[in-house]
Amino acid sequence: MAFPQTSSPARAGKSPAIVIFLCFLAIVFDGYDLVVYGAIVPKLLAYEPWGLTPVETGAIGSYALAGMFIGAILIGYLTDVVGRRKVMMVSIASFSLLMLLTAWAPTPELFGLFRFLAGLGLGGVIPTAIALTVEFSKSNRRNFNNALMFSGYAVGGILAALLALAFLSTLGFQGMLALGGIPLVTVVPLLFKYLPESPAYLVAKGDRAQAERIVAEYGLESLPPAKVQGDAPEKGRFRTLLTGRLLGAMVLFCLAGICGQTLVYGLNTWLPQLMVIAKYSLASSLTFLLTVNIGAVVGVLVSSRLADRFGPRRVTAVSFASSGIALVLMGTGMMPLVAMYALVAVVGFGSVGAQILVNGFVATYFSGATRATALGITLGIGRIGAVLAISGGGVLVAAALGNFINFSVWAIAAAVGAIAVLTVPRPRDTETKGGAAGAPAAGHTIHH
């Protein structure tokens, strides 16, 4: 059902941009949590009361990712069952409280436990934010708006790197982690007041009148029909996604997600330490971490527009490939400082940027009835790569291998990710229709 442009009061002052901005704010603190751990790794290793080794530090870092693995799958599913709005608020509130507990943890064992529990809440934020952003975007801006929203991930990383440069020496790792509790008193109240429910969820629950009101208020393109061939019944979302033609797509998306998160979490956690090993100062290493996330923001905003124009498949593959090439070049040790900064920026685009593009690919591939569940599965399974990267990075550092291996080993994930997205089967119409504004507008084709 399409709504014509009118000047009705119901639509006055309601912009989808507020939804995208709120999702952006939520994602900022996901990015902060990721990068702040990488920034504090040298301090954790130097903290004498705990006496952590690189392998132990990598293992503890992976606990939050293990929690996100479970949280993304379960909460991604619950998002399609109980609604996006409730899940977003509860996830952020629980994550914030547990970040505070992590900062106050008296032992490394409790530190790791609270990191795991915080990951459960954080795991629900990403699929919810992506699903809402896609549903509140016009069909020809979904990849761009998703990238714009998800650039909050890199903005959070930039914020963590800047704060670490300025305050790590005085606040210590505990103070840097405590800042992760800020969303409890900033973002959650904003979500409570301004975040609407998903029209696709409301239609699936039978509240079509409320869904139509939200579509009208926010000027969205259309509502899904009450029942679309290929949509999942309420209790059959997993079965729909994990059978038939969609199973092959899910496997390849999960593989791409594993590769993307291997790059994102491995490099954001261990890049400062790898640069220290390569004879750069800690301050310079944190500046490289900052450069990674700046490269991610700039690169993905450009590439996402190309994804809307030409389809996410090829653009995502190029993103993966560019990071792999840059990592190999960094490992040669033959690059001047300026070139190293440029390559690090490319790595940021091809790691964080590639993961953002994969998320957008998934969100535009599946229907509104299964979108958040598909995102939850992809992001959850993708955490396997994150866990392996963070724990494996500790093993890599402890092995004291040469700089070429330290950097170029990550290019394997980039190569596999590029192949995975290129081989995702092209969707059928009945598999991709049905989201809130879920089908392309008339005359507009999305090239998967």
Count of C-beta atoms within a 10 Å radius of residue 243: 11
Count of C-beta atoms within a 10 Å radius of residue 7: 6
Cβ within 8 Å of residue 429, ≥6 positions away: none
Distance from C-alpha of 198 to C-alpha of 129, rounded to nearest angstrom: 11
φ, ψ of residue 222 in degrees (nearest 5): -165, 170
Hey, what's the torsion of the CAs at 27, 195, 17, 91, to 10 degrees?
10
According to the 3-state scheme, what is the secondary structure of the chain?
CECCCCCCHHHCCCCHHHHHHHHHHHHHHHHHHHHHHHHHHHHHHHCCCCCCCHHHHHHHHHHHHHHHHHHHHHHHHHHHHHCHHHHHHHHHHHHHHHHHHHHCCCCHHHHHHHHHHHHHHHHHHHHHHHHHHHHCCCHHHHHHHHHHHHHHHHHHHHHHHHHHHHHHHHHHHHHHHHHHHHHHCCHHHHHHHHCCCCHHHHHHCCCHHHHHHHHHHHCCCECCCCCCCCCCCCCCHHHHHCCHHHHHHHHHHHHHHHHHHHHHHHHHHHHHHHHHHCCCCHHHHHHHHHHHHHHHHHHHHHHHHHHHHHCHHHHHHHHHHHHHHHHHHHHCCCCCHHHHHHHHHHHHHHHHHHHHHHHHHHHHHCCCCCHHHHHHHHHHHHHHHHHHHHHHHHHHHHHCCCHHHHHHCCHHHHHHHHHHHHCCCCCCHHHHCCCCCCCCCCCCCCCC
Question: What pLDDT score does 349 carry?
Answer: 85
Structure confidence by residue, pLDDT tens digits, 194-215: 999 988 888 878 888 888 888 8
pTM over 0.85: no
Q: How many CA atoms lie within 13 A of 21 on its CB side?
A: 7
Structure confidence by residue, pLDDT tens digits, 399-438: 777 778 888 888 999 999 999 999 998 876 544 444 333 3
- Distances in Å between the alpha carbon of 421 and those of 126, 323, 328? 20, 15, 21
Angle (deg, nearest 10), helices 282-310 and 244-277: 150
Distance from C-alpha of 5 to C-alpha of 92, rounded to nearest angstrom: 35
Distance from C-alpha of 114 to C-alpha of 213, rounded to nearest angstrom: 41
Residue 5 pLDDT > 60 = no
Question: What pLDDT score does 433 carry?
Answer: 45
**Residue 66, both tokens:** 């293990």
> For residue 2, what are the β-bridge partners?
222
Question: What pLDDT score does 281 carry?
Answer: 66
Distance from C-alpha of 425 to C-alpha of 402, rounded to nearest angstrom: 39
Distance from C-alpha of 158 to C-alpha of 164, rounded to nearest angstrom: 10
Question: What pLDDT score does 225 carry?
Answer: 57
Question: What pLDDT score does 437 carry?
Answer: 36
Ranges 99-113, 121-135, 345-359, 426-440: which has the least confidence: 426-440
CB 65 within 8 A of CB 383: yes
Angle (deg, nearest 10), helices 244-277 and 337-365: 160
- Distances in Å between the alpha carbon of 226 and those of 203, 223, 390, 429? 6, 9, 44, 17
Question: What pLDDT score does 192 carry?
Answer: 93
Ranges 70-79, 260-269, 296-305: which has the least confidence: 70-79
Average pLDDT of every residue of the chain? 80
- Among residues 392, 306, 396, 393, the alpha carbon closest in space to that of 357 is found at 306
Q: Which amino acid is at 387?
A: V
Cβ within 8 Å of residue 357, ≥6 positions away: 143, 147, 300, 303, 304, 307, 312, 315, 316, 319
Residue 72 pLDDT > 70 = yes
In this prediction, residue 249 has a pLDDT band, given cuts at 50, 70 and 90, of: confident
Ranges 107-116, 124-133, 410-419: which has the least confidence: 124-133
CB 381 within 8 A of CB 140: no
